Amino acid sequence: RIFTSLYSWSGINNNNQEECPYLQRQNACQRITDANMFALISLPPGMDKAEWLASNTVAFFKHINLFSSALSEFCTPSTCPTACGPGNMVYFWTDDHGRKLKCSAPLYFDYAMSYIQELLTDEDVFPTKAGATFPTGFIFLVQKVFLLLLRTLAHIYWSHYSEVLALDLHPHLNTLFSHLTLFCQQHSLLEPEDMKPLQDLITALERHG
């Protein structure tokens, strides 16, 4: 499967509330830890940057895949016929034949998680043996992974925040999202246009965090 960053502003709005609840102070201030995020995202002295990016890519994938799986029963083709995020941004997938597909959310994110899983288990891309080198263009593959992970969390905020609140998972979601965006900013893993639709959320979490 081939990943694409193409998107559109049209689509179905699964968030029917006039004011996004995830921007409200009483929700945005919730965290599961008061740990110094900047200490968590900074490259440790003496560590190879590719190794640091690789280990964090694997960790973020595991955490976000686990979190999204907890909400999978609420994300169906009928509840989420379009894969979208804040601002009604619609995410498209490009298949092996170069066809741009407008998918339901569960199908899009199944493609995304499968793509990432295949990448992480490819020894030529994410080597696990001592002394192995990372491939040319490794950083670009990492950027693709983090964009997909960002979109996964963006969809949860936009379409499933009521379920997140009902399950009392918003402190976990806020912590995970803040950690992810700070890590991406620190290591230049996302383009400004990728972050723009989420800027209100990023600002709210920074202000109240």
Residue ranges at the known binding site for Zn(2+)? 75, 80, 155, 160
Q: How far apart are CA 171 and CA 165, in angstroms?
A: 9
Q: Please list the residues that pair with 163 across neighbouring strands.
A: none
Distance between CA atoms of residues 16 and 198, nearest Å: 17
183 and 189 Cβ atoms separated by less than 8 Å: yes
Q: How far apart are CA 137 and CA 175, in angstroms?
A: 30
Binding residues: 75, 80, 155, 160
List of residues 6+ apart from 27 with CB closer than 8 A: 21, 165, 170, 174
Can you tell me the distance from the alpha carbon of 105 to that of 122, in angstroms, rounded to the nearest whole number? 26
Residues 6+ apart with CB under 8 A from 84: 11, 12, 13, 14, 90, 91, 105, 155, 158, 159
